[in-house]
Amino acid sequence: MNEEDDSTQKTKRLAQFKALLEKRITDQEEALKDLRNLHELVSEVLLEKGFRRAKLTPSKPPRKPPTIEEPVKGTPLKTKEGDLLGTFFLKADSLRVVPSEGTGFNVKIPPFQQFLIERVLAKMRDKDQEAANKGLLQPENIFSYEVVTKEDRLQEIIIRPVSAERLRELKSSIRWTLEKMYEKRNPE
Q: Where are the domains of the chain?
A: 1-62, 74-184
Q: How far apart are CA 150 and CA 99, in angstroms?
A: 13
Q: How confident is the model at residue 7 (pLDDT cuts 50, 70, 90)?
A: confident
Q: Would the pTM count as exceeding 0.85?
A: no
* Amino acid type, 15: A
Starting from the edge strand earliest in sequence, which strands make up the sheet with 153-160, in order? Answer: 74-78, 84-91, 94-99, 153-160, 144-150
- Across 166-182, average pLDDT: 90
pLDDT score at 39 = 74
Provide the pLDDT confidence category of residue 33 given band limits of 50, 70 and 90: confident
pLDDT band, residue 28 (cuts 50/70/90): confident
Question: Which helix (H) or strand (E) is 38 found in, with range?
Answer: helix 3-56
User: How confident is the model over 67-98, as pLDDT tens digits?
Assistant: 443 445 688 988 888 889 999 998 877 899 99
Rg (CA), the chain: 25
